[in-house]
Amino acid sequence: MGRLLAIDYGLKRVGLAVSDPMQIIATALETVPAHTVLDFLKKYCARESVEAFVVGKPLDLDLKPTDSTKAVEKFVQQLKKFFPDQTVHLHDERFTSKMALDAMIRGGSTKKDRRKKENIDKVSATIILQSFMESQSFRR
């Protein structure tokens, strides 16, 4: 069983999180500039076995696409092109930034750390991945 890799895609930064090989626990991996994410993923996948990608799908409260949805869909097409052997799952990312900030506060992060958007991005990716894995365990 390979790892799952979650992607919280943004036009400037991309938060990344990864599961353990047994796909039980999600861990923050990195935040990279959006223009370098595919290169980062190629290098990561060359040294780690990645079974599938989980990409945060931006939706509004009515489950309708947001302004960011088209950019994410374009990125997903690139991801499928560069990684044809891995499955790409889309998973609801509503409220993950707020949940990430709350988790950082509860975890004792300093105000300085919470101001760094790259920290929030990778924690958001972790929340997306953990939520996805939990939803999959109910389907088994």
Residue 49 CA: distances (Å) to CA of 18, 60, 79: 11, 33, 16
Diameter of the chain by CA atoms?
A: 41
List pLDDT tens digits, range 86-136. 999 999 876 565 565 555 556 666 656 555 566 678 888 998 999 899 888
Q: What is the pLDDT at residue 15?
A: 95
Q: What is the pLDDT at residue 67?
A: 80
Please state, in angstroms and rounded to a whole number, the distance separating the CA atoms of residues 62 and 95: 13
Please state, in angstroms and rounded to a whole number, the distance separating the CA atoms of residues 32 and 37: 6
Q: Which domains does the chain have, with CATH numbers?
A: 3-139 (3.30.420.140)
